[in-house]
Structure 1
Amino acid sequence: MADSLRDQLLKSGIVKQVREEKRQAAPQGGKPANKSGGVPRHGGNKPQGQRHPQQDKRSAEIDLAKAYAIRKQTEATERKQAEQAAAEQARIKREQKQKIQQLLQGQSLNKADGEQVRHFEYGGKIRRVHVDDAQLVALNVGELGVVQQAGRYFIVTRAIAEQVREIDPQQLALLVDPNDAGVGEDGVPDDLMW
């Protein structure tokens, strides 16, 4: 039992392996040692293409940081472009609504005492507008049209309806094509006969 723990470890070879691994991983002196144990030459005697593990880790961290920075910048640019496109769309919509509102100023033919109801499909739902007998016939033969503006439906002449179609076709709720064969002799479209 005269052998100390250190001596036993040296005999078994475990301590030698650990020292060699430490020496290969990173010399403590700051200067890389060459195989001959002397001072390294100017360029070192490491074969080209080999890098120190810590250098690989640092370069990987730098590359990863650059990739994250590039991705962040790209996402910010895309977000800014999307915001600009949305703002441009909103501006165009505002201008279209303003033009239609000016066009409809004083041009509405709606009558408060309309006794007839003209149903039509708009926006995936059945809508209605109150008209008199003459307006009902004029709507059914395409002489009048219906324009939606600010949640209301305005009866207008065919010329105004065509102008609204040029500005924003989505705002034109009803305009019957007079050349359509689906209109009966009484001026009522065939699809409305229930």
Structure 2
Amino acid sequence: MAESLRDQLLKSGIVKKVQPERSREPKRPAGKPPAGPAKGRGTPEIDLAKAYALRGQAETRERKQAEREAAEQARLRRERKLRIQQLLEGKALNKADAEQVRNFEYAGKIRRIHVDATQLAALNAGELGVVQHAGRYLLVSRDTAEQLREVDANHVALLVAPGTAGTDDDGVPDDLMW
């Protein structure tokens, strides 16, 4: 069999067998940086795995903080909803046989509530108010509407200021039937 070119060169003496030089530094485990500061920078170099671990810990902290804030907001919403429900319980003045319709603007749309003649006069005078709860519009006393406004003003759909009965700034009477 033919010898390899390497073997032939070694036999002829043209090339000498070179042994790698052994380093005089003690062996250290793979993947760990040297103990001293990095050469030329003056600050220690952060290992890539350590940087990933630090970033992971920071992301975990941020995620847990966001979860705590969301849970706190949900708890506050539940408490507010319960308070509103307790406040409105048994105080609705809606009548099933009401014939007249009172239109009002709420959340950018025209809404309506059915009232009788005395309720319409009281609503336009500011003695009654309309609140939105659970997808319905409830007719309540002014005091109840004011209490609800303190809890969450977004639920008060219509509350006429006393003394401004008759016409709004647009000149159209409140009791005008459409």
Q: Which has the higher contact order (CA 8 A, sep 6+)?
A: 2
Alignment of 1:157-176 (within 5 A): 157-176=141-160
Shift of 1:165: 0.5
TM-score, normalised with respect to structure 2? 0.69
Match of 2:140 in 1: 156
RMSD, aligned α-carbons: 3.5
Question: Which 5+ residue runs of structure 2 have no aligned equivalent?
Answer: 26-37
Alpha carbons of 1:124 and 1:69: their partners in 2 closer, same or farther (altered >3 Å)? farther
Counterpart Cα distance in 1 of 2:126 and 2:50: 64
Counterpart Cα distance in 1 of 2:64 and 2:108: 34
Alpha carbons of 1:65 and 1:187: their partners in 2 closer, same or farther (altered >3 Å)? same
Partner residue of 1:49 out of 20, 39, 57: 39
TM-score, normalised with respect to structure 1? 0.64
- Report if the CA contact (8 A) 1:137-1:188 is conserved: no
What amino acid is aligned across from residue 65 of structure 1 in structure 2?
A
Counterpart Cα distance in 1 of 2:172 and 2:117: 12
Alignment of 1:1-194 (within 5 A): 27=21, 29-31=22-24, 49=39, 63-180=47-164, 182=168, 188=174
Identity across matched positions, percent: 59
What amino acid is aligned across from residue 39 of structure 2 in structure 1?
G
Counterpart Cα distance in 1 of 2:71 and 2:154: 20
Counterpart Cα distance in 2 of 1:94 and 1:145: 24
Counterpart Cα distance in 2 of 1:123 and 1:70: 47
Structure with the higher fraction of residues in helix conformation: 1
Size of the aligned set, in residue pairs, is: 153
2:131 aligned counterpart, secondary structure: strand
Alpha carbons of 1:121 and 1:186: their partners in 2 closer, same or farther (altered >3 Å)? closer
